[in-house]
Amino acid sequence: MDKNINIKVKVWRQRGPEVKGAFETYDLQNISQGSSFLEMLDILNEQLVREGKEPVVFDHDCREGICGMCSLYINGHPHGPDDSITTCQLHMRRFNDGDTITIEPWRSAGFPIIRDLMVDRSAYDKIIQAGGFVSVNTGGVPDANAIPIPKANADMAMDAAACIGCGACAAACKNGSAMLFVSAKVSQLALLPQGRVEAARRAKAMVAKMDELGFGNCTNTRACEVECPKNISISNIARLNREFLAAKFKD
């Protein structure tokens, strides 16, 4: 049965990307363990407004684990201490009475801080845009939708497509690498006939854009895979490397 707890939240406050930030600690009383983590932040902001203080800025949208907006580092873990969830799916029953919860924004050169806990994740959008399109004008080639696809390939493509682009992989990586994200987006198309026409161009363009935007290199520590809320496998990174090298050899 859920009960009410008293906690301290140690929150990163930063007024802008060019301003030095710092942690501030707040006391919260009688927080229901049945509430979600983001509902707890809503309660904190209501308390701050009543006190005449600036509320904490944080990102959220669907609150259903779909959009990936709720990008928070909680007690040293992207999206918090539970496995395979986003921040909005984390509940306060995961914490105990008297706990101090440390909340930070993503820490990555590719995700500059906008304010407080909100970061600019548009770099991922730019990488997807660099990947471009899927051709429909195939001339005399059979329609890709009419080509039977092995179930194993279809399953792997769907697993890769589960990536929501939240940024936890880059935030968890000691190098700030976006390789898990990029490899998932490449894999979901590389495994299917619809994606083969632009496969070489796509792999080169997305890797080049990732490097341009300041993300680091992958050193296979697997922190990205461990912290990914959608359990994206690092086997996709091996596939991306194969696609990229094959494209380079064609050049």
Cα separation, 97 vs 239, in Å, equals 45
pTM of the model: 0.91
The boundaries of every CATH 1.10.1060.10 domain in the chain are: 120-247
Q: 113-115 and 22-32 as β-strands: parallel, antiparallel, unpaired?
A: unpaired
Q: Tell me the CATH architecture of domain 120-247.
A: Orthogonal Bundle (1.10)
CA distance 50 to 195: 53
Work out the average pLDDT over 35-58.
97
Give residue 193's pLDDT.
85
What tens digit of pLDDT does each residue of 116-151 get? 999 999 999 999 999 988 776 656 666 667 778 899
Q: What's the pLDDT score for residue 123? A: 97
Q: What is the CATH number of domain 2-112?
A: 3.10.20.30
- For CATH 3.10.20.30, list the domain ranges present in the chain: 2-112
